Chains A and B, each alone.
Chain A
Amino acid sequence: MPKITINGQGYDVPAGKTVLQVCLEQGIKIPYFCYHHKLSIAGNCRMCLVEVVGRPKLEISCNCPVQEGMEIKTDSPVVLEARKSVLEFILINHPLDCPICDQAGECKLQDQYFDHSAVPYRFREQKVQKPKAVPLGPLVVLDDERCILCTRCVRFCDEVPKAHEIALSERGDRSTIVTYGTEGMKNAYSLNTVDICPVGALTSRDFRFGKRVWFLSKTPSLCTGCSTGCNVWLDQERGVAYRYRPRENNDVNECWMCDEGRLTYKYINAPDRVVTPFARSPENRQWTRASWDTVLAQLRTILAQVSVAERAVVLSAQCSNEENFAWTRLVRETWAGARLFATRREYPNPSEDQILRHCDKNPNARALSEFGIHERYAGGARVLFVLDALTPEEIAAVQQTRPACVVLLTTNWGVHPDAVRWRPLTNVDAVIEQGGAADRLDTLKTDTLEAPTPDPYPWADFVLPLATVAEQCGTFVNVKGRVQRFERAMPSQAEARPAWAVAQHVATLEGRPLPWEDAAAILAAIGETVPSFQGITWEQVGEFGTLLNGTAVRQCVSA
């Protein structure tokens, strides 16, 4: 443990670390642009210069290993002056177009100018002209004039997806980021370059010009695009989801996520959301909007005519533990003798790689196994409750055996082409082929009060609005057995409800209410019932999740 001095205070620090790492760990602020804790050291921005007493020149702290007896100054006049001068140099050819720049509000250059420089502009020459709005790939757009050439994006592509797709071209202040040939940036993780770009040079075609970032609220959530369970921030404003950004969790996704997962937020805003209950009109079997009260009254009548043995519930690997467990409890305790089935979304040729993408595109398949529910529905029920959706085989079984009543709880009518969750992007090539899929969904919501034609669910008798991951709390279990929490980011759209709340309504109809007040209470109940969940509580799951009992720790991502 070398002993070093930083700004006059002594520290024992682990050998092999750099001055920057040590300072960041100790809460000593050193500004930087090119350094990224998950990428190799470039040392080019020169923003993190510090004074090492006894050395003739300032050193870049990002590449300066700590040594016994080292005396470091991060706030001496020469260091402060060097920061000012680096910022001045960076800004001379910068367009200074913050008012129209997408990055404004979350721009490191903007922040650091205010923190460390704030000097008047002395540059009175012609700026270097560079290209604007250059597409680097289907999803990423480059504004070359804003680029500070930190090369984070180049290093990311080289080191994480190992796709050597972009590079520096030209030299000096003519340097630009370019793609090799005409192929462009097609790797499945390209949008991470937008996250790590410290300035407004790389923008997401999906998000750019969509919203000033200071209007957005962020909520810790989970990507539902596959069973990896990448941790995300869900950014929303007034009930409209604008983007997912990776939330760092070194046990799951480090600080990355894949492009197709990132775009799955769109189903939350989709114009074809189911936001009120629908029931078939007795006259012509057309879908008509109904109230929850009407629907529940009808269900009560129907259930009274059917024995519990003729009832069945299809749980979904798309739904949370709490949603599935509430229905499990209803079936096993109130409807003893009714049957439970499991369904999941299945896609032809699902994308998969060794980094983050998993071929199982369901966020919660693992939990259904833990609950002991595997069987696929093949007919036999007279009253059938379905969570989320059915596969074509299961739909065929429903149509052949003709139950008296099928109740579908779902989020979307499943017809809108922009609701990416319904047309998964199996790879980025698909994005290119689909063209429009990458374009930002028009976030103006239309309250869908009429069912679309043709009828997407001819086999159902009720369609009930299910709250999305954005509108409820809950937990998923990822493919490696990690229980992870997602928080409620916004109020439910119109009358959408979590499936567990619907289970509670139905149980109440039957005179045996389920007791829970919230998802945390249900998770506690799961802990009392399911061995692998024993002792797992809402608090314990925390920000970064916890492993199911008996699950070995396994490294995720590139390691």
Chain B
Amino acid sequence: MEPILTKNWGKPHSRSIQTYLAQGGYATLKKMFQMSPEQVTEEAKRSGLRGRGGAGFPAGVKWGFVPKNTGKPIYLCINADESEPGTFKDRAILENDPHMLIEGVIIASYALGVRTAYQYIRGEFYRPWEMVEQAIAEAYQHGFLGQNICGSNFSLDFYQHRGAGAYICGEETGLIESLEGKRGMPRIKPPFPAVSGAFGCPTVVNNVETIAALPWILEHGGEAYAKIGVGKSTGTKLWSVSGHVNRPGVYEVPLGIPFKLFLEEYCGGVWKGRKLKAVIVGGSSVPVLTADEAFAVTLDYESLQGAGTFLGSGGMIIIDDQTSMVAALENLAVFYHHESCGQCTPCREGSGWVEKILHRLYHGEGRHEDLALLQDLADKMQGRTICALADALAMPVRSYVTKFRTEFEAFIREGRSPYPAPEWQG
């Protein structure tokens, strides 16, 4: 397979504009300025490119929601607030090939009629922020950003805005609130950002990985991109793999390859010769798969959905058979409780309640009614809040407790785990 997103990774000075230009970077802009913005949007639609932030919504269709001729500026916000536990693929793009992202930003901005684009970048990503700042400066120097890009009538400014450490600012309306300088809390919808987003203007929020695919799509055509992958899961996907594998890392593969193949061929299999117990395929918030379920899926949107989980952000966590699922779930609950913004009652109160139950359970004081209570709380949290953070805790809770019920029950009965304490607990 020809790599799309990772083609320049590992080359010397892959971040620099010289390297990028030497690989034919920014060449698609000349072609793009021959096209109308509508044609560019059409090319994106034809590619079938879906949002890589987690929702998997077709990017071209999302652009189509922006109303025309409102007299207001249109903003593009790049979501680089990569905070989902297990996900680190956007960071790899920012660090290895920031110019591919910038070229994508120019393409999307041209298609949408954007004059000012922002990148909202996770506050902890200080080094990646610096690297992108450097790349933006280079792009300005070379006339790819600023006034009359490449001699066209098109002008674009691109700014980075650093977050302050809140997971919820990766939710697109929380991101917009934070970008505006407010407390990062998701907004109620309607209005949707495409109609009223940043500063009350039409706004599109796209993930780093989504935007980074645009130069290739424009160079080779949407149809060529759509040929990669399977069905409605077109193109390639970055998987950030962590956990109990021999070769953790970021891998670019076409959508639709079997999980088993991916685990064995790319990740080098489960570490220490152990067996696979469970997999979180799409970031910590998606329902967990058992080993049997995982070996039956292919890595694309539809297959994973069919297995009751989501492709999500592609943050894959491999869990070996020496891991306590009680400990794993307790760890996740701590995270989501900590990160709940606190505005919606079910999430604010439910996340704390779930964490307290799991904490008690994990410390040997579980009660038999706890499992039913956890499931009930998950049901009462999910789908009843402004954003999906409550779901992001509810889905793991329900899937862990259901799929590993005997393990939870044994833990409650014995008051302890048969597995060694996880490393994060020292």
Contacts and interface: CB of A to CB of B under 8 A. Distances in A.
A148 B345 contact: yes
Contacts of B51: none
Contact of B349 (A47, A57, A93): A93
Contact of A175 (B337, B348, B384): B348
Interface stretch (A81-89, A234-242, A451-459, A516-524): A81-89
B380 A89 contact: yes
Given A123-B353, A172-B338, A173-B340, A65 B346 contact: no
A173 B337 CA distance: 8
Contacts of B380: 82, 85, 88-89
A518 to B, nearest CB: 51
Interface stretch (A38-46, A255-263, A270-278, A322-330): A38-46
B384 A49 contact: yes
Contacts of A96: none
A122 interface: yes
B345 A46 contact: yes
Contacts of B357: 125
B273 interface: no
A449 interface: no
Contacts of A174: 342
B343 A173 contact: no
Interface string A154-193: 0000000000000110111111000000000000000000
A169 to B, nearest CB: 9
A390 interface: no
Nearest to A128: B352
Given A44-B386, A57-B384, A122-B373, A171 B342 contact: yes
A93 B345 CA distance: 11
A60 interface: yes
A481 B345 CA distance: 46
A90 interface: yes
A458 B384 CA distance: 71
Max chain A C-beta neighbours (<10 A), residue from B183, B337, B343, B344: B343
A63 interface: yes
A86 B352 CA distance: 14
A58 interface: yes
Interface in B369-386: 373, 380, 383-386
Interface in B184-234: 188-190
B356 A173 contact: no
B384 A168 contact: no
A149 interface: yes
A92 interface: yes
B340 A58 contact: no
B355 to A, nearest CB: 9
Contacts of A173: 337, 340, 342, 348-349, 351-352
A171 B166 CA distance: 10
Contacts of A284: none
A126 interface: yes
Contacts of B349: 89-90, 92-93, 173
B339 interface: yes
A45 B345 contact: yes
A159 to B, nearest CB: 15
Contacts of A126: 356
B341 interface: yes
B23 to A, nearest CB: 43
Interface in B314-350: 337-346, 348-350
B80 to A, nearest CB: 21
B360 interface: yes
Given A89-B345, A89-B346, A172-B341, A43 B386 contact: yes
A44 B385 CA distance: 8
A90 B350 CA distance: 9
Nearest to A122: B373
Contact of A168 (B183, B339, B351): B183
Interface string A310-327: 000000000000000000
A82 B384 contact: yes
Given A122-B373, A125-B360, A149 B343 contact: yes
Given A44-B386, A65-B190, A170 B353 contact: no
A123 B183 CA distance: 30
A172 B344 contact: no
B192 to A, nearest CB: 12
B306 to A, nearest CB: 18
Contacts of B356: 125-126
A-B pairs, 4 with minimum CB distance: A89-B349, A175-B342, A43-B188, A85-B380
Given A44-B345, A85-B380, A125-B353, 10 more contacts: A45-B344, A57-B384, A63-B190, A82-B384, A86-B345, A89-B346, A89-B350, A93-B349, A171-B166, A172-B338
7 contacts: A49-B384, A57-B384, A82-B384, A88-B380, A172-B351, A173-B340, A173-B352
Interface of B: 166, 168, 183, 188-190, 337-346, 348-353, 356-357, 360, 373, 380, 383-386
